[in-house]
Structure 1
């Protein structure tokens, strides 16, 4: 397995690019890459040449997370203004605006069936679940304190939620917090299951394996990448190699590799069999906020990985 640089776009946005997600292809168009920036816009790019398709506006502060519905028809963007905007990918028409007070939203993700949107509520120490047919709030999952920890006035601040990930079957939701803990919820019962421990700094990114549904990957400011058996509550492995914070993590569609982006300005490809980094890409000159593999399927041939950075650029790689 390897990455090969295909194209980089400098000044893809007018400010730092903090988030990226792939939109599935439809009968009318190919897959698209969504990027969100502190310049308050979401931009859509063609998948092979990174030509700008359109720019979406609607937020009044920086966009920190984007997510695409499995249908490829709608997408969501979250901003530091505490609003989530749901919009039509092809027309940019606003479908719904969700408010997530009392503080900024950090990450959001649709479940695999597209019926629910999970929104990490930042300083509210909770994750909100929205029904995508009515856009009504259906549950608020409170992140509990770790067993044995002492209550404190600032406990909710320490539980500031940064990241969310759905299991492949949609039955579980993993939530990463500033204190380094990962909380696992049973979604059918809206019930907290258990914590996963091992990180001691913020968990900024989570991703389940598409091949091994129990296997959860996490990236943290402690520069570590962890692999957990999320059902068995056990740490299955740890990998290190980045010189600084791991800001983003994604699992390749074949399940044999992961990619990570770091504040050390690199993108790394990791062989899960070897549990080691096998390639380091240095196409960015500032911290890499997001990495995202293009999902398989449709007419797309060949794997693709995208990365975005504080340097305002987007890079596209061939994964084979």
Structure 2
């Protein structure tokens, strides 16, 4: 039943009694909800050329005036839904245009040998880290609750002292991304002019300017080892532009090291894999892609979203990656197999940002529906939904303490392994394997508890940056920028600063009385 039929039915029931009209309207609403549910779960091609072929097979126009690829795919869903109502099941069409009774589900394509080797390296990298993280969490569970409460009080009381330390004019057009360097001594900003700038802290003096994109920049990320021992001639940070290019930059030369071309539309967020060996990029062509940082090769083109993909985030273990798009759906992928680990279905508008919690089993997503959702990968459901801002949530970032690995936070000797190579979450030999050793169950009283993951920072188009506790998801601090839409936000690894980039072309720096 299409929209015109629903309108006719609605007009018809208006002639009855009030009770009958109410029952009919309730039935109509239920029917509409069921229709939307069927359309959401309906399998249709993600390739635009195949969508056009499918529409032609149904006898429908292959395109309408002003219709984009996402709109065209939604129209195909509506057409297929009509067949479902008429015949009791959706009609699938073969690639040659003929009808078939088999439903279209997930499909797999053979990858390259480079992708196979990358997946093996990621497995060797992630499995020992996951084992250590679980062992650390097991030890942490025996820590007295009073110690954890005291630590949280200490951290949150310092956050209460945060205030606006100052602002800086960033560029001639709106700023799009802001990120602290791994050593918390530099800050990276990008703008719609296609320019990236590096500033020192806390004086906000300009250190470097990088120009290379012909269109606006939507995403930027520091290499995990940048400013922590990585050569300045290596790839220190990456940016993604609206022209569809991803560029790698060093700190000692003005031109990009390499341009990674492959996306056919604007690039959204970009993120480095925790190992630093790979780079992920989200694209408005409906895909996210995985790149080899050393060889500069495109390893993977991952479909799965029906509209533009904006958000991307890697788990700290390196085993999982999450993507979110304008279809209001998020997906968690296993980087070692390519399979979908979880579908994040709950937002009613586009997903603009996402981040994994340092604990490894939670994902935060910020959406155009003004909410932040916390997803539990163990229970495969939403754990908490926060009405975080009065407008779209542009960025979500968990606090990660510099030098405090979530894998050895309670002491390397307690977790049965060496701390060397794991302290900063990167720089580890991805081909190496670690030997199993006996784990101690009791933490040492003098060992400090980890602070990573204790709070979450969000930025919104309402002009506010907010800090949330990561236990009850309660608001801790509200920082107003007075500078229009907040396009991006971040928290430094030393815990001393929070920064936000605004549509008004400026960025703000917030800090407290003491270092965390």
TMscore range, shorter length: 0.7 to 0.9
Looking at structure 1, the residues matched to 214 and 388 of structure 2 have their Cα atoms a distance apart, in angstroms, of: 37
CA deviations 1:216-236 (Å, max 9, x no partner) are: 111101111111113432111
Is 2:365 the counterpart of 1:230? no
**Alignment partner for residue 196 of structure 2, among 42, 45, 61?**
42
- Kept in 1, the 8 Å contact 2:398–2:455? The answer is yes
Q: Which runs of 5+ in 1 are unaligned?
A: 145-155, 297-301
Instruction: Find the aligned partners of 2:249 and 2:281 in 1 and give their Cα distance.
Output: 16
Task: Give the Å deviation of 1:133.
Answer: 1.0
For the residues of structure 2 that align with 1:134 and 1:284, how far apart are their CA atoms?
A: 44
Q: Which residue of 2 aligns with 1:90?
A: 252
Hey, which of these two has a bigger chunk of helix by percent?
Answer: 2
Q: Which of 301, 312, 318 is residue 505 of structure 2 equivalent to?
A: 312
8 Å CA contact 1:43–1:55 kept in 2: the answer is: yes
Q: SS at the partner of 1:107?
A: strand
Q: How does 1:1-320 map to 2 (within 5 A)?
A: 1=156, 2=159, 4-25=162-183, 31-72=185-226, 73=232, 74-122=236-284, 124-143=285-304, 156=306, 159-210=307-358, 212-253=359-400, 254-296=452-494, 302-318=495-511, 320=516
CA, structure 1 residues 6+244, in 2 after alignment: closer, same or farther (shift >3 Å)? closer
Q: Contact 2:208 / 2:251 at 8 angstroms: preserved in 1? A: no
Contact 1:139–1:190 (8 Å) recurs in 2: no
Give 1:115 deviation, angstroms.
Answer: 1.0
Deviation >4 Å, runs of 4+: none
Q: Which consecutive residues of structure 2, in runs of 5 or more, have no partner in the other structure?
A: 1-155, 227-231, 401-451
Q: Is the 8 A contact 1:13 1:312 kept in 2?
A: yes
Over residues 129-170 of structure 1, what are the superposed CA-to-partner deviations in whole Å (9 max), with x where a residue is unaligned? 0011101011111115xxxxxxxxxxx3xx210100000101
Which deviates the most, 109-118 or 287-296? 287-296
Larger radius of gyration: 2
Distance in structure 2 (CA, Å) of the matches to 1:208 and 1:163: 12
Shift of 1:127: 0.7
Deviation at 1:6, TM superposition (A): 4.9
Offset, 1:272? 2.4
Distance 2:379 2:238 in 1: 32
> Which stretch shifts more, 239-248 or 218-227?
239-248
1:106 aligns to what SS in structure 2?
strand
Higher strand share: 1
Q: 3-state DSSP class of the match of 1:19?
A: strand
SS at match of 2:291: strand
SS at match of 1:143: coil
Matches of 1:252 and 1:24, distance apart in 2: 12
SS in 2 for 1:7: strand
**TM-superposed deviation, 1:52:** 1.1
Q: Give the TM-score normalised by structure 2.
A: 0.55
Superimposed CA distance per residue, residues 184-215 of structure 1 (whole angstroms, 9 cap, x where no aligned partner): 111011222331111111110001112x1111
Query: Does the 8 Å contact 1:182/1:197 carry over to 2?
Result: yes
Greater CA drift, 16-25 or 42-51: 16-25
Assess if the C-alpha contact under 8 Å between 2:175 and 2:190 holds in 1.
Answer: yes
